[in-house]
Amino acid sequence: MTLTVQPFDAPLGAAAAGIDPRAVDAADLDALKRALAIHGVLVLHDQRLTPAELLAFSRRFGEIEYHVLDQYWLPEAPEVYVISNIVENGKPIGNPREGFGWHTDLSYMPLPTAYTFLYGIETPATGADTTFCTIYPATDALPAALRDKLDTMTARHSYAMLHASRPWAAPLTEQQKARSPDVFHPMIRTHPITGRKGLYLGGATCVQPLGLSDDEGRALIEDLYDRATRPEHTYAHQWRPHDLVFWDNRFVMHSATEYDRARYRRLIHRTSVRGEKPY
């Protein structure tokens, strides 16, 4: 089979076809990684993937990252993280409020996520879009003086800060805290496949530029998020059941959107693949 990609009428994202995620050879894998490095987001419709098949496909891209919140690991496959509003026997089967606010995945890890895979099993008829933006237009349009400064800057990425910004979330266990000490990444990173440089912003509530006061740091982050996430840089994915959506977190940010939780069930299986140390 040969991969074909049909770019969306958007600044990023493409529909992929001609690939069976359950039978990917080395050439397919290479083509998928290159397509992700160009289009940022790929969508494969009408997939039927067991958790084991989703995992096996994800593993072809690299080492699986376990999510910090172990209470939402899929019991039979803990590398699969469950996003859902479904409650069974009085217990949520997944994280009901995952992914709101623009971010890249797991930037607070020493080796942040390179690729994220979301497989939609139950998806609301309306709402719950996943919105994506490419970081490159904003990076390329930075004023020269700001760009020069950012080229030399490092930021702290902190899961503790992120968690503190979510008052509804359960307190972290000591083990969860130990798994997520603060890490430091450059504010402009290089894509390992294309060599292209782009802002690396993590999540607005977990990133703190070094060498600035708290107020200056917050103002800079707000300004960069505003530049990066303008509507003309985005694509909103409207889910259909059995969509497999995956993206390259090294230059793509994303954000969840709300849906009618009383009316619709949502069940998403997610896997994350660890990348390199940002440089």
Cβ-based nearer residue to Fe ion, 99 or 198: 99
- Picking from 76, 77, 72, the residue whose alpha carbon sits closest to that of residue 57 is 77
Rank residues 65 and 105 by Cβ distance to Fe ion and give the closer one.
105
Angstrom distances, CA of residue 13 to CA of 54, 63, 204, 255: 20, 24, 23, 15
Stretch that binds Fe ion, among 35-43, 50-58, 62-70, 100-108 (CB under 5 A): 100-108
CB of 142 to Fe ion, least distance (A): 24
Smallest separation (angstroms) from Fe ion to the CB of 247: 9
Site string for Fe ion, 217-256 (x = CB under 5 A): ----------------------------------------
Applying CB under 5 A, does 202 fall inside the site for Fe ion?
A: no
Provide the pairing of β-strand 234-237 with 130-134: antiparallel
Nearest residue to Fe ion on Cβ basis: 99
Q: Report which DSSP code applies to 231.
A: G
Q: Smaller CB distance to Fe ion: residue 13 or 99?
A: 99
At 20, list the tokens.
Answer: 């069976």
CB of 99 to Fe ion, least distance (A): 4
Min separation Cβ 172 and Fe ion, Å:
18
Q: Is 105 in the site for Fe ion (CB under 5 A)?
A: yes
**Neighbour order of strands in the sheet with 267-274:** 4-7, 14-17, 41-44, 244-248, 113-122, 267-274, 77-84, 73-74
Check if the beta carbon of residue 120 is closer than 8 Å to that of residue 127: no
CA-nearest of 271, 258, 262 to 129 is: 258
Q: Please give the DSSP secondary-structure letter assigned to residue 141.
A: T
User: Does 203 help bind Fe ion (rule: CB under 5 A)?
Assistant: no
Q: Does 99 bind Fe ion (CB under 5 A)?
A: yes
Query: 130 or 139, CB closer to Fe ion?
Result: 130
**Nearer of residues 24 and 180 to Fe ion, judged by Cβ:** 180
> Using the rule CB under 5 A, is 112 a contact of Fe ion?
no
CA 24, 29, 33, 39 dihedral sign is: negative
Q: In whole angstroms, what is the distance from residue 201 CA to residue 239 CA?
A: 26
CA distance 272 to 112: 9
Q: Is the dihedral of CA 168, 243, 33, 252 positive or negative?
A: negative
Return the range that interacts with Fe ion (CB under 5 A); candidates 21-29, 48-56, 91-99, 170-178: 91-99
Task: Check: CB of residue 135 under 8 Å from CB of residue 252.
Answer: yes
**Tokens in use for 123?**
């998806």
Task: Please choose, out of 102-110, 141-149, 155-163, 201-209, the segment that lies near Fe ion by the rule CB under 5 A.
Answer: 102-110
* Cβ 102 to Fe ion shortest distance, Å: 9
Closest separation between CB of residue 20 and Fe ion, Å?
26
CB of 15 to Fe ion, least distance (A): 21
Least spacing, CB of residue 187 vs Fe ion, in Å:
20
Give the SS3 label for residue 88: strand
By the criterion CB under 5 A, which residues form the site for Fe ion?
Answer: 99, 105
